[in-house]
Chain A
Amino acid sequence: MDFLRPASWEEALAAKAAHPTAVPIAGGTDVMVEINFDHRRPDHLLDLGRVAELGEWEVGEESVRLGASVPYSRIMEHLRAELPGLALASHTVASPQIRNRGGVGGNLGTASPAGDAHPALLAAGAEVEAVSVRGTRLIPIDDFYTGVKRNALAPDELIRAVHVQKADGPQQYSKVGTRNAMVIAVCAFGLALHPETRTVRTGIGSAAPTPIRARIAEEFLNSALEEGGFWDNGKIVTPSVAKQFADLCAAACNPIDDVRGTASYRRHAVGVMARRTLTWTWESYRGARHTTEGAA
């Protein structure tokens, strides 16, 4: 095994081009488990730890360009206002020690259906900045997950950053597990209200071979909210609409039975989380509306 230590982003890209099978290592919280247990013996480890810009972020007009290695603990601390869904999801990851090392680039690299960043990214709207010596492309998050623990990266590509849409409304993240800390999601649900476009987006974790959006449920809810004038009148979402939305979210799942839960439990739990996160975010949207109106 070789340990490659590029000192800059350009060197990292050159190393990945020269050794396409090299395994990048950022926080190491996935890679080192595999190495410690002999599940993986790469010829090259490509340490990204010295590439400083991967640990930085820039807040733009529309989106946050989040460096691939920014640890979860920094997202929780510094980006709660801009990326509330991702900050909440980050807080559910493992433990402080893991959150101090692991980040979204590694979560995307592993592309586990249980990764906590994914539902939040799907709900917020995001693009993955994939770079190689050949150039840069922005992969829409909806196209990034291609199979169980598979993603759309080419062998010579590295993730430079994720461009996550800044929140224009309330966002929530909900996760089912046996305790608060150190839990891989039995299933998880992210929801973001986008008042500017009058749309709702979802993200579901651990309930299909890849992280997914519940598109039919989103379309149903978008038109129900539009038809009822809910975005303007700020009324409570009709219980029948919330129920239908929850049922459609559950129906979007394609879960399996495993040690963490059965398929039918997962479907049920996704429905419950969909209804709850809709209620939470909608309440906070109504609250914000009242505050703005009151102030005007």
Chain B
Amino acid sequence: MRVNFTVNGRPQEADDVWEGESLLYVLRERLGLPGSKNACEQGECGSCTVRLDGVPVCSCLVAAGQAEGREVVTVEGLADYARQRSWGAAPGAPLDSPSGEGTDSLTGEGAELAPIQQAFIDAGAVQCGFCTPGLLVAADEMLEHNPDPSDADIREALSGNLCRCTGYEKIMDAVRLAAARQSEGV
């Protein structure tokens, strides 16, 4: 079957999609967006987290056909999404590449990093990196509606994302850092 939906602000069409196929598979294998990771395919690890009409979900558990006509944001589009948000545009509204010359809103190629991405790097929250895309999408969404999270809020918001490397402390640091920078407006 054919599925039409919006990914990172751009209309996309996927063809020959098998009816039982997941959104994750379509993103990775048909649209060439391998940022969302496939680790468990059963909702346990969160490494496939994307936003579906603004809501964080495990893309491995969304049937591709269920995404028909809807808006998806993946880690590749996170920087643009965050930039739009800071400009006060309605989240999820189609973007016409605000990232300027030489950048690609769909793949994130050439774009500046989102604040949450920069914070993960600065705090040393990335080791093997497999969990990182899902954590970034989940953490960014939390900071969108909870700019001043407690540690308990952060743990709760990230409770669906597993990391086998870091022991989570650096991830906590990164999210605290992003929150602090966001409130200082840097």
Contact = CB atoms under 8 A, between A and B. Distances in A.
B159 interface: yes
Given A35-B20, A45-B20, A96 B63 contact: no
Interface in A82-112: 94-98, 100-101
B6 interface: no
Contacts of A29: 43, 58, 61
A41 B159 contact: no
B65 A32 contact: no
A33 interface: yes
Contacts of B63: 3, 25, 28, 31-32, 35, 45, 47
B131 interface: no
Contact of B65 (A36, A45, A94, A101): A45
Contacts of A37: 41-42
Given A32-B22, A36-B42, A36-B60, A96 B138 contact: yes
B12 interface: no
Interface in A45-95: 45, 47, 49, 94-95
Contacts of A216: none
B68 interface: yes
Contact of A2 (B19, B41, B43): B19
By size class, the interface of chain A is: 20 to 34
B66 A95 contact: no
Interface residues of B, number: 28
A28 B61 contact: yes
Which of A5, A32, A37 neighbours the largest number of chain B CB atoms within 10 Å of its CB? Answer: A32
Given A97-B43, A98-B160, A33 B61 contact: yes
Nearest to B61: A32
Interface in B69-115: none
Contact of A100 (B42, B44, B56): B56
B175 interface: no
Interface of A: 1-3, 5, 25, 27-29, 31-33, 35-37, 41, 45, 47, 49, 94-98, 100-101, 180-182
